[in-house]
Structure formats: C-alpha cells, structure tokens
C-alpha cells in the first residue's frame, strides 16, 4: 500500500517563484524531502535504469507531516439566505436524479449540524422524496412519499412548511408521465415539532456534517430552484419558471437561482430581488440541458433558457484543499527542465511503498536575459497528463484486460486509487452515476503523474504511458547533451505565441493529445513563421479542451460527435461550459491534426509494437540528412514499449485531412497485431477488417516536410518511438534518425522552399 501521497500547487514554476507541496502521511509524523531532476523514470532492467540526480536546495531534510483527507462532492452554498423558519416558505426545483441506489441524498437544506436544527429535503435510497425537520432537542419529524422517482427523468418537486401551524407539504410530479408507471406523489401532514429559525447557509445538493465536511450529496441535475415566502401549491413553480412571472408571485420570491446565467463561472446567480447568489463548490457540471430542452438548439450560448440545469455528483472534485507541508523558492540559477520532490517516510518493500515523486517543471525565467535561451524547447503535454489524471478504467471497467490483450497487474498506487475514490477520476472515467467526467484538475494527488509509475496502457515491456514515457525522451536529450527549456501546456495557453517566438525547435512529448484553442493558435502561428516542430509521439492535437477562466489548473472536455471515447456526451451537451466553444475532436471542428504536424491519428493498440520499413521517399535528396548513417530497411524493431518503435497509438499521412502535399513518407510501420485497431472516425459502416494484421491502413508514417516560411515538420507518428531511443546504449537507427533531424533543425540555415 502507498503510505505517502501529495501534489504540488502548480505544474510549472519559474526561477524566483515559490512552489508549495501538499503531503499526506498514512503513518508516522514526518517525512524526508529532497529535490531531484527527472532524467529517466523507467524501472525496466532492459533500459538505462532510474536516473534522478539530486539537486541540493533549502528543501532538503526532514519535515513534519500528518494525514490529510479530501472532502469530495459538489454542491451550492448560499450564505445570505435568511433563516427560513421565521415564517411559512416553499421550495421548488426541477430534479433529474441519476443514482437512486445511493442514499440519503440532500436536495436542499438549511441545517446546523452542531445543534441538529433545521430542515433537509432529500431523496432516500431507492428514489423516494422525503423531508426531515429537527428542532435541536433530539426530536426529528420525517415526511416522505411512497412512490419513488425514476432515474434520468425530470420531476417538479416542491416542499412547503408553515412553522407556526406545523404544516408540511411534499410533492413530486413527473414532467413526462408514463402509462402504468407510478412515480408521482403528494403528501400534506401536520408534524409535532416546529421548524426553528436557523442562522445557517442554504445548501443545494449537499448538507453540512458534524465533522465540518459536507456530505449526503445529490447525484443528478437540479434546474430552477426557487425559495418563496408563503405556503404555495406545487403548480405555482410552473408559473414562476415561465416568464412573465405574475407580480403577485414575484413579490414572494426569497431567492431564485438561474443556472443558465454566468455558465462559465462558479457563481449561482440569484435573479430574485435580493441577489442572494450562491457559490458552487467542486465544480458541478454546467452548460447542461434542462427540464425544458427541446432539441431545437444545441448551443447554450444561443438559447441559455434551455440550459438551466447543473449536474451535481458526490464524487466531483476540484481541489483537495490540503495544507502546505513544505515549499521551495526556485533558485534563480536552476536550469529549466523536469523535476520532482522526492519524499520518503521510511523503507519500502514488496507490500508497502513509503516514497513518492511529486513531479513538476521548472520553466525558463519569465524575463530571460537576452541571448540566454537555448534553441530548443520541450512542450510538456500537461493537458494530456491532467486528462489522464488518476485514470482508473483498469479498476472500474469490464473488459480492460481483453482490450490490452494481457493480464493487468496493480501496483501500490493502483490499489490506493481503488481504496480512495475521493481522489477523483480522469476524463476517461465515469462518475458513479454513469455520466462522463468532463472536468479534471491537477490540484489533487495525481498518482500516475509520477516517474516510476507503470501504466496499464503502456504495452508489453516497460508499460509506460504519458508522463513516465516522456522520461525516455528526457534521458535521450540528456545523453546527447542538448541544452533545452521546458514549458507546459498551461504556459502555452496563458502566454501564447510570445512564449514560443524565440525558440527555433519545439519538441513534443509522446502523447500531446489535448489542446485548447489558444494553444492550437499559438503553435500554428509559430510553425507558420518558420518554426521547426519535432512531433515525437502519436495521437497529437486530437481533442479540443478548455481551461477555466478563473480557477487555476482545471480543464474541460466534451466528448462530442466522434472519436475514440470511453463515454459520450449527451446530445445538446457538446459545448464547453468554461468558454462556450464547441467541444470534441479538432478534426470535427475543421482542424485535423494533419494540419498542425503533418500526420493524424489512424489506429491504436496496447499490446505489442512493430518496426517501420523504409519507404521510397527516404531516398529523396530532401531527406538525405535524416538517413545519414542509416542504410537500414527495417527501422525500430526493438524498444522498451512493446518491443518496437511503432506502437500504442499511430498516425499517418492524409492529404484530404490537411497533410501538406510536400510531406515525404520516409517509412511506414509493418506487421501490426490484430489488436492494433483502426480508429472509428476513419469509417462509417464498420468494416470486417479493422485489425492491423489485415487492414493496410493501420500503420504509422514517419514523415518530414518543409514549410513555406523555411521551417519544417518531422513526425514520428507513434507513441512508442521514444521507448526505442536508448536501445544498444543509444546506438541504433531510431536514435540516429532523431539525432540527425535535431542536428539539422538546430542549424540556422532555413529549409529550401522550392
């Protein structure tokens, strides 16, 4: 089991800035810390071995530690709602429950957990609506309905109480009734206790608990919540929802939250007369179609009144909220690159891991000295790391071993993730209620963003994927003595083209899959102005994402329309709530990866990798520098990732999707297994032969081409390529080709354009 976890407060930090680390101990009261540069994180004895050179800093030494826990689950909190027990009031809402098997689930509450006073409107396990009223003396009155709500159906619910008459009303009405289905209910009762006045915030989708956390979260959508003074019949809600509101009813409004307002924010806007706005905690999903969505408009920007719903989940998480355990001000002279805080709390063995590497990057100075930049910058694909953060399909999804074509093994981090679902899932996972995870944050322990981590997606051999697979590239750059900076996806999104402008060469990681519009535009502008791109992976520039405009470190994905998807966004929910842009594949938006890097996604398979065979274009004089000292016909029939250089995910040339017609196909991969499958955006009707053993389209294209501005594109078109760089002590044709390209890209002479 893993006994020490943590996370940094940022993934990118400049010299002179301070980075804070949040550590949690499962045992003991202290831990040792030291800064290391991450050179190679692959434990495979067939490779160069682990390389973490120590970098002495003020952080070295022993520090106090303690257990820290996560209070997951999204909700709304409105602190300015007055005590509702002063007089009669009615609460209305439209409800779309999604997880009837959990209970109790709070819908609305004004509750003081210390004194046990207030009310809670909730859904019981099984889906019955109920309300509890307590006066703090230990007595509690409960009113509930007999018939349960159905999952994923809209209901108009109402709850009213007159504290003086001790009268309670509870109602649920399906928006869409069905024959022979009993899911409506109404109850009016007199209870034996009076609702006291409670000076406490008003909550939706959660209830404060005695231990200071918020629990009993609701799973599902809430639309149009309204609190009104007076004891009103349930049908009054309809009149309040549909404009114009009757003046007699408007005068009774205490609060009316319109979730279609300020969708990109974490504020719940009260459109009532008092402005009792709420705060949304842990990022419930916004931009969701509401009870009145008809399908006539799929863009919430154009018809926001149809997008008044928020989807709450008990397993939503934005920020773990841990206290800082130790912090470090980055020395002014610390070289840009990949680093980690190595933390230990004792000796590890086969049953217990008592160390961890909390990874981050030191970016170049924000105001570098003139001429101090190297020519090369590595773009660390942190958007992809965040997209895959705590990816747990191998734990939760059936059929994972069939897809991988091998027995999957769990490490201590995987077991810890299984036992601590409050860490939150990746953009590949689903919430417990079956809806896809659309938001992912780095402000939590991310167990697979760490050197030494072995991924279930990493193929035979080293089983590395994402961050740890990228350490194969860091190791090769270190071995070759290349001076380079590192910037991250978040840096590129924030700073744009200006961040790239002074670099001659950009090298990508093995899987730069996720890009925002700002990132895409900046990279394309740099290429169009003569930049030289070394695309060292596969499945790049695939999904469009959005970064939150005010909250750091969180991104959004809507899996719309097409592509390899572990979940599918519902119709009408394809637009990103963070910025209002249409989500999904860049290809579906008209910007296929081929436009950026010359090649685009064609196939994926996670078992074994394959070699490339030299193609006729390799003999083109334009490519002579690439194959200098490489006469081989077969390229990359070795490697730490699956035994070859072409594997995991592959790209190929396609001029109809935007590959420049001058791109040279230098080599194509061969001999793929039946588990290397054609991606689904490549066909309409499912063909009978989508496996790499029978489909000639399933291959990676090693490619090169010059740009009109004197720059160039080089694409390996395979995630597994970098896993072959160190073979035979770095003396191999993959390493030589990569070095030949980088050496020429570092020369100042522009590439000929005619």
Strands (E), 497-598: 505-508, 514-515, 532-535, 543-544, 546-547, 554-556, 584-585
One domain for residues 22 and 156: no
Residue with tokens 């040339």: 653
Contact criterion met (CB below 8 Å) for 134 and 118: yes
370 lies in some domain: no
**pLDDT for position 382:** 98
Q: Enumerate the H helices of 264-373 as residue ranges.
A: none
545 lies in some domain: yes
One domain for residues 123 and 269: yes
One domain for residues 569 and 442: yes
Contact criterion met (CB below 8 Å) for 285 and 310: yes
454 lies in some domain: yes
754 lies in some domain: no
**pLDDT for position 533:** 98
Contact criterion met (CB below 8 Å) for 689 and 698: no
Q: Measuring CA to CA, which residue among 566, 563, 601, 599 is closest to residue 584?
A: 563
Contact criterion met (CB below 8 Å) for 682 and 690: no
Instruction: State the sign of the Cα–Cα–Cα–Cα dihedral 25, 31, 35, 38.
Output: negative
One domain for residues 308 and 333: no
Give the C-alpha separation, 449 to 38, whole Å.
12
Give the C-alpha separation, 382 to 556, whole Å.
13
What are the pLDDT digits (tens) for 278-290? 999 999 999 999 9
Tally of domains in the chain: 3
Contact criterion met (CB below 8 Å) for 168 and 189: yes
One domain for residues 356 and 250: no
**pLDDT for position 733:** 98
Residue with tokens 């990949």: 338
One domain for residues 583 and 527: yes
Q: Other CB atoms closer than 10 Å to residue 349's CB: what's the count?
A: 8
Contact criterion met (CB below 8 Å) for 36 and 388: no
Structure token digits, residue 736: 């030589």
CATH number (domain holding residue 281): 2.60.120.200
By residue range, what is the domain housing residue 29? 4-70+327-362
One domain for residues 333 and 445: no
Q: Measuring CA to CA, which residue among 341, 345, 339, 337 is closest to residue 324?
A: 341
Give the C-alpha separation, 61 to 80, whole Å.
46
**pLDDT for position 398:** 66
Residue-level length of the chain: 754
One domain for residues 536 and 612: yes
Strands (E), 559-642: 584-585, 600-610, 612-614, 634-635
pTM of the model: 0.97
Report how far Cα 481 is from the mean position of its chain's Cα atoms: 34
One domain for residues 53 and 94: no
Give the C-alpha separation, 119 to 140, whole Å.
9
One domain for residues 143 and 46: no
Residue with tokens 């060469």: 505
What are the pLDDT digits (tens) for 420-465? 999 999 999 999 999 999 999 999 999 999 999 999 888 889 999 9
321 lies in some domain: no
CATH number (domain holding residue 347): 2.60.40
| Angle made by CA atoms 78, 9, 447, in degrees to the nearest 5 | 100
> DSSP string spanning 96-108?
EE--TTS--EEEE
Give the C-alpha separation, 512 to 492, whole Å.
13
DSSP reduced 3-state for 597: helix
pLDDT beneath 70, residues of the chain: 397-398
Give the C-alpha separation, 471 to 725, whole Å.
11
**pLDDT for position 427:** 97
320 lies in some domain: no
- With a CB cutoff of 8 Å and minimum separation 6, the contacts of 718 are 537, 538, 609, 645, 646, 647, 648, 649, 650, 651, 669, 700
338 lies in some domain: yes
**pLDDT for position 659:** 98
One domain for residues 709 and 655: yes
**pLDDT for position 458:** 85
Structure token digits, residue 536: 């060292």
Structure token digits, residue 583: 């989500």
Percent of the chain whose pLDDT exceeds 70: 100
368 lies in some domain: no
One domain for residues 344 and 482: no
DSSP reduced 3-state for 120: strand
DSSP reduced 3-state for 479: helix
Residue with tokens 């206290």: 323
Give the C-alpha separation, 597 to 508, whole Å.
11
DSSP reduced 3-state for 349: coil
DSSP reduced 3-state for 207: strand
Structure token digits, residue 11: 């993934």
């Amino acid at each position: 089991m893993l006994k020490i976890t943590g996370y940094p407060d940022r993934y990118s930090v400049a010299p002179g800035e301070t980075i804070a680390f949040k550590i949690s101990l499962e045992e003991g009261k202290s831990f040792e810390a030291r800064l290391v540069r991450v050179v190679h994180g692959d434990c495979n004895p067939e490779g160069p071995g682990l390389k973490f050179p120590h970098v002495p800093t003020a952080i070295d030494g022993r520090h106090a530690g303690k257990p820290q826990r996560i209070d997951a689950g999204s909700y709304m909190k409105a602190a300015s709602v007055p005590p509702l027990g002063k007089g009669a009031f009615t609460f209305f809402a439209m409800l779309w429950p999604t997880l009837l098997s959990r209970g109790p689930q709070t819908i609305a509450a004004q509750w003081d957990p210390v004194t046990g006073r207030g009310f809670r409107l909730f859904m019981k396990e099984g889906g019955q609506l109920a309300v509890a009223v307590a006066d703090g003396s230990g007595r509690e009155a409960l009113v509930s309905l007999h018939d349960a709500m159905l999952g994923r159906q809209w209901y108009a619910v109402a709850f009213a109480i007159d504290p003086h008459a001790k009268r309670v009303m509870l109602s649920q009405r399906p928006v869409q009734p069905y024959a022979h289905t009993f899911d409506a209910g109404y109850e009016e009762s007199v209870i034996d206790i009076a609702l006291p006045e409670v000076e406490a915030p008003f909550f939706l989708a959660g209830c404060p608990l005695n231990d200071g956390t918020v629990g009993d979260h609701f799973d599902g959508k809430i639309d149009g919540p309204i609190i009104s003074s007076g004891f009103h019949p349930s049908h009054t809600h309809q009149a309040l929802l549909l404009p114009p509101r009757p003046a007699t009813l408007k005068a009774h409004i205490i609060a009316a939250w319109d979730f279609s307002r300020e969708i990109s924010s974490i504020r719940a806007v009260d459109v009532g007369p008092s402005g009792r706005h709420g705060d949304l905690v842990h990022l419930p999903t916004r931009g969701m179609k509401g009870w009145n969505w008809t399908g006539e408009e799929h863009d919430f920007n154009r018809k926001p009144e149809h997008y008044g719903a928020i989807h709450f989940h008990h397993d939503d998480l934005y920020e773990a909220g841990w206290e800082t355990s130790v912090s470090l001000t980055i020395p002014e002279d610390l070289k840009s690159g990949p680093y980690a805080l190595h933390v230990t709390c004792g000796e590890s063995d086969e049953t217990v891991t008592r160390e961890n590497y909390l990874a981050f990057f030191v970016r170049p100075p924000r105001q570098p000295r003139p001429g101090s930049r190297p020519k090369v910058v590595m773009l660390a694909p942190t958007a992809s790391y965040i997209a895959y953060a705590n990816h747990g399909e191998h734990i939760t999804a059936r059929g994972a071993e069939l897809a991988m074509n091998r027995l999957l093994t769990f490490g201590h981090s995987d077991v810890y993730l299984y036992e601590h679902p409050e860490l939150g899932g990746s953009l590949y996972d689903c919430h417990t209620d079956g809806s896809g995870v659309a938001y992912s944050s780095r402000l939590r322990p991310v167990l697979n963003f760490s050197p030494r981590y072995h991924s279930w997606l990493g193929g035979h051999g080293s089983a590395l994927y994402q961050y740890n697979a990228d350490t194969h590239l860091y190791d090769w750059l270190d071995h070759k003595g290349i001076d380079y900076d590192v910037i991250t996806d978040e840096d590129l999104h924030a700073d744009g083209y200006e961040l790239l402008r002074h670099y001659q060469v950009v090298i990508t990681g093995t899987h730069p899959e996720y890009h925002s519009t700002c990132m895409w535009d900046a990279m394309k502008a740099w290429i169009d102005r003569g930049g030289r791109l070394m695309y060292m992976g596969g499945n790049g520039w695939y999904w469009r994402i959005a970064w939150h405009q005010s909250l750091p470190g969180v991104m959004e994905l809507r899996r719309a329309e097409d592509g390899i998807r572990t979940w599918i966004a519902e119709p009408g929910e394809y637009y990103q709530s963070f910025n209002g842009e249409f989500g999904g594949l860049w290809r579906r938006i008209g910007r296929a990866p081929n436009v950026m890097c010359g090649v685009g996604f064609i196939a994926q398979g996670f078992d074994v990798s394959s070699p490339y065979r030299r193609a006729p274009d390799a003999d083109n004089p334009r490519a002579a520098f690439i194959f200098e000292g490489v006469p081989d016909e077969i390229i990359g029939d070795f490697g730490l990732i699956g035994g070859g250089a072409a594997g995991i995910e592959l790209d190929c040339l396609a001029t109809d999707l935007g590959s420049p017609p001058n791109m040279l196909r230098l080599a194509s991969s061969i001999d793929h297994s039946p588990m290397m499958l054609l991606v689904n955006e490549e066909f309409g009707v499912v063909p009978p032969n989508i496996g790499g053993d029978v489909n000639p389209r399933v291959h990676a294209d090693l490619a090169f081409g010059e740009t009109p501005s004197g720059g160039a594109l080089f694409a390996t078109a395979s995630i597994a390529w970098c896993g072959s760089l160190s073979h035979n002590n770095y003396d191999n044709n993959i390493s030589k080709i990569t070095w030949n390209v980088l050496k020429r890209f570092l020369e100042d002479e522009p590439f000929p354009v005619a």
